């Protein structure tokens, strides 16, 4: 028998919330709609089976005691704490009752890739997803022709049967889910040929999604009732759309602000100039004031990303690098020497900066490094 605790990667004393949290994480990683790897589909089945057993107290107890978690009776002394209490205090039965055929459906997750512009300004998408929908042939009843399930003749609609066994403490009366009706208390005598009595079928459908402006990687959009329909035509779960923002060619996002790195000649930095750059809003003019040093920046207000919560937009920070010429012809060299002489500058003059962090790189260094990858 498989080690279902190892399959999910949880301890044997893990709580239901811990098991549920781990399962959701693994399901998002290996769901066939998200992970195209053929092995992912098998892994998804394994973790789903493990979750089905470990999240059900009765099945988990049977499994922990070495029995078959899917067995209706389990055999031997495989009975729960509630059964022992009934034996000692004369309960003689169970208050669990039949389980409903109609149950709520599971939530679903799908990831959507967006460009920086789509994330900034928002967009409309149509997602094609394969999910469980209500069976059109039986409209969710699970019966051929829309007939109603009949009361189980074995358990008389209780969904469970009682069994008396002998043990070291004497006779013990235990209750187990009815094997004939699987605990439902009723039997579908003529199951729907389309859904085999489940009340739902797998189908691919298109769902329109409105992406709000300002989203970023990791954000999720909850679409109530757009997930899987539950067994027996039960209410649908929710669909979560997770955003993945693809890197831009030359813009780097930092929250609501955008950063761009440009290089200008040292003469333009000394004299000042105007340059045009491409932004999410089209071409924009950047004014370079005379004497701008390499590593300084120019801020263009309200040209960043739209704020998801709040009003307005972030800024676009233009990081300027001054390019020093590496090759000079004779005439250019003489001109620079003349300029240096006129300014009283020489190569022997050195200015040592104090360790105040002002010349230790900072954000511009990170932006430059990012473009240099």
Highest mean pLDDT, choosing among 7-11, 25-29, 278-282: 278-282
- Is the same domain home to 197 and 345? no
Highest mean pLDDT out of 68-77, 80-89, 163-172, 200-209: 200-209
CATH code of the domain in which 311 resides? 2.60.260.20
Domain identity same for 39 and 156: no
167: confidence class by pLDDT, cuts 50, 70, 90? low
Which of 1-5, 109-113, 163-167, 325-329 is least confident?
Answer: 163-167
What is the Rg, in whole angstroms, of the alpha carbon atoms belonging to the chain?
Answer: 34
**3-state SS class at 55:** coil
Answer yes or no: is 57 within a domain.
Answer: yes
**Tokens representing 40?**
């992912």
The answer as to whether 111 is a domain residue is no
Directed axis angle between helix 38-54 and helix 16-30, to 10°? 170
Q: Which pLDDT score, from 0 to 100, does residue 285 have?
A: 96
In a domain, residue 197? The reply is yes
Report how far residue 70's alpha carbon sits from residue 79's, in angstroms, rounded to the nearest whole number: 14
Asked if 87 and 143 sit in the same domain, the reply is yes
Do residues 45 and 97 both lie within one domain? Answer: no
Q: How many domains does the chain have?
A: 3
pTM exceeds 0.75, yes or no: no
CATH no. for residue 163?
2.10.230.10
In a domain, 245, yes or no: no
**19 lies in which domain range?**
1-71
pLDDT tier at 35, thresholds 50, 70, 90:
confident
Give the lowest-confidence range in 80-84, 214-218, 301-305: 80-84
* Same domain (yes/no): 80, 177: yes
**Assigned domain for 116 exists:** no
pLDDT at residue 297 tops 90: yes
Map tokens 């919330």 to a residue: 17
Could you tell me if 306 and 323 lie in one domain? yes
Is the same domain home to 136 and 20?
no
**Residue 187 pLDDT level (bands cut at 50, 70, 90):** very high
Q: In angstroms, rounded to a whole number, what is the distance separating the alpha carbons of residues 317 and 251?
A: 10
Same-domain status, 266 and 231: no
Task: State whether 230 and 358 are in the same domain.
Answer: no
Which domain CATH number covers 57? 1.10.287.110
215 part of a folded domain: no
Mean per-residue pLDDT, 324-335: 88
CA proximity to 370, closest of 269, 207, 258: 258
pLDDT level of residue 346 (50, 70, 90 thresholds): confident
pLDDT value for 111? 93
CB atoms within 10 A of CB 90: 9
Same domain? 80 vs 183: yes
DSSP string for 293-362: PTT-EEEETT-SPBPSSSSSB--EEEEEEEEPPS---HHHHHHHHHHHHHHT--TT---PPPSSSTTS-H
Both tokens of 165, joined, read 């066994």
- Residue 330 included in any domain: yes
Strand partners, 151: 186
CB 273 within 8 A of CB 264: yes
- Across the chain, mean pLDDT equals 83
Same domain, 292 and 311: yes
Comparing CA positions, the residue from 101, 104, 127 lying closest to residue 114 is 127
245-295 pLDDT, tens digit per residue, is 999 999 999 999 999 999 999 999 999 999 999 999 999 999 999 999 999
* Nearest one of 133, 294, 116, 123 to 211, comparing CA atoms: 123
Pick the range with the lowest mean pLDDT from 23-27, 149-153, 272-276, 351-355: 351-355
Same domain, residue pair 336 and 352: yes
| Residues 149-166, mean pLDDT to the nearest whole number | 86
pLDDT in tens, 95-135: 456 888 888 998 999 999 999 999 999 999 999 999 999 99
Assigned domain for 212 exists: no
């Amino acid at each position: 028998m498989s080690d279902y605790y190892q399959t999910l990667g949880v301890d044997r004393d893990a709580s239901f919330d811990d098991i549920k949290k781990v399962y959701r994480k693994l399901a998002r990683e290996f769901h066939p709609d998200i992970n195209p790897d053929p092995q992912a589909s098998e892994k998804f089945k394994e973790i789903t089976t493990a979750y089905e057993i470990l999240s059900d107290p009765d099945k988990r107890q049977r499994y922990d005691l070495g029995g078959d978690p899917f067995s209706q009776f389990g055999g031997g002394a495989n009975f729960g704490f509630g059964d022992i209490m009934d034996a000692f205090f004369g309960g003689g039965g169970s208050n669990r009752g039949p389980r409903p055929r109609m149950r709520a459906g599971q939530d679903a997750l799908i990831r959507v890739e967006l460009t920086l512009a789509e994330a900034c300004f928002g967009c409309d998408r149509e997602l094609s997803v394969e999910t469980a929908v209500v069976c059109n042939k039986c409209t969710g009843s699970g019966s051929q022709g829309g007939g109603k399930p009949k009361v189980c003749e074995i358990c008389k609609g209780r969904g469970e049967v009682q069994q008396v066994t002998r043990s070291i403490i004497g006779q013990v009366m235990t209750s187990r889910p009815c094997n004939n009706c699987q605990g439902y208390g009723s039997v579908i005598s003529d199951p729907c040929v389309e859904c085999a009595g489940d009340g739902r079928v797998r189908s691919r459908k298109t769902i329109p999604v409105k992406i709000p402006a300002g989203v970023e990687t990791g954000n999720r959009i909850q679409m109530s009732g757009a997930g899987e329909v539950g067994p027996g035509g039960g209410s649908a779960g929710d669909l979560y759309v997770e955003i993945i923002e693809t890197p831009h060619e030359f813009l780097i996002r930092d929250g609501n602000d955008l950063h761009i790195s440009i290089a200008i000649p040292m003469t333009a930095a000394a004299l000042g100039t105007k340059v045009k750059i491409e932004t999410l809003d089209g071409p924009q003019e950047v004014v370079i004031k005379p004497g701008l040093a390499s590593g300084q920046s120019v801020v263009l207000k309200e040209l960043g990303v739209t704020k998801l919560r709040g009003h307005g937009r972030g800024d676009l920070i233009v990081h300027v690098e001054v390019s020093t010429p590496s090759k000079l012809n004779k005439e250019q060299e003489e001109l620079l020497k003349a300029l240096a002489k006129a300014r009283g500058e020489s190569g022997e003059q050195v200015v040592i900066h104090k360790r105040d962090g002002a010349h230790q790189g900072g954000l511009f260094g990170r932006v430059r490094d990012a473009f240099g990858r």
